[in-house]
A and B are shown apart, each in its own frame.
Chain A
Amino acid sequence: MAVLDFIAAFFAAALAGMGVGGGGLLVIYLTLVRGAEQLAAQGINLCFFLALCVPSLAIHAYKRKIHLCLALIFGISGVFGTFLGAYLLSLATPVLLRKAFGALLLVSGTLALFKKKK
């Protein structure tokens, strides 16, 4: 199972690093394949996402692809949002959380499927 975990995590990280999918792929793997609780999977995914960002951001920064000012405006306003998100999380039951995450995936999957290539 450790090998399967590594392969799944590697591909999830590589796809996230390429901009194909977000870090959410590991949540899908952990909940649907490993049977983890939604909240536990989200916690693991956050650590996983931070780790994959380190080399990925270093390479993007080296290639001068990051617009620092925009990222900081967006990121810092997002930090305030994370508190609201965490508050909503404390109100949600595990079943509601799972279904809401499923709805988020349906929306993002539909957007990705019909996204026009620039």
Chain B
Amino acid sequence: MRIKISKPFIAFAFLLVCGFLSGTVNGLFGTGGGIIAVFALSHVPFFQNCLSPKEVFATTLFSAFIMSLSSVFIYARNGGVDFSAALPYLPAALAGGCAGAFLLDKIKTGVLSKIFALLVLYAGATLMWR
């Protein structure tokens, strides 16, 4: 018997696999799952024309929030989260998160993205060869 696999089914399976990989990166590094999520939602033919780049980003952010909630519980259970050390950074996170979401529609992030990429490359090289 030949099973006919539909395009939505393949796209759905691809999303599940990418979501799992994204969660693995999130659990291992406490960040970074968004890269895979953005890649998946931007490159699956079934979805890529449905979502604008801003919708891809917002959707990715929400899925990363769910994964990070899970990671925080796992880290906390294993003693990997010092909540008192994290506390001083939370007001800045709330203010910065608010500012970033407001500015998303208002400023062009092209140059900023390139500066960010160079900073990340420098940090990556330093951590690799330190």
Contacts and interface: CB of A to CB of B under 8 A. Distances in A.
Q: Is the interface of A mostly helix, strand, loop or mixed?
A: helix
Contacts of A81: 19-27, 33, 67
Given A32-B126, A74-B15, A89-B28, A82 B67 contact: yes
Chain A interface size range: 35 or more
Given A42-B31, A55-B98, A88-B24, A49 B127 contact: no
Contacts of A28: 119-120, 123
A82 B37 CA distance: 14
A49 B53 CA distance: 21
A98 B125 CA distance: 11
Interface residues of B, number: 94
Given A17-B99, A45-B31, A56-B101, A75 B125 contact: no
Interface string A68-96: 10111111111111111110111010000
Contact of B29 (A47, A104, A109): A104
B124 A74 contact: no
Given A44-B86, A108-B120, A17 B113 contact: no
Given A10-B95, A82-B70, 11 more contacts: A9-B89, A19-B57, A20-B113, A44-B85, A47-B86, A49-B93, A50-B65, A55-B94, A68-B62, A77-B23, A86-B74
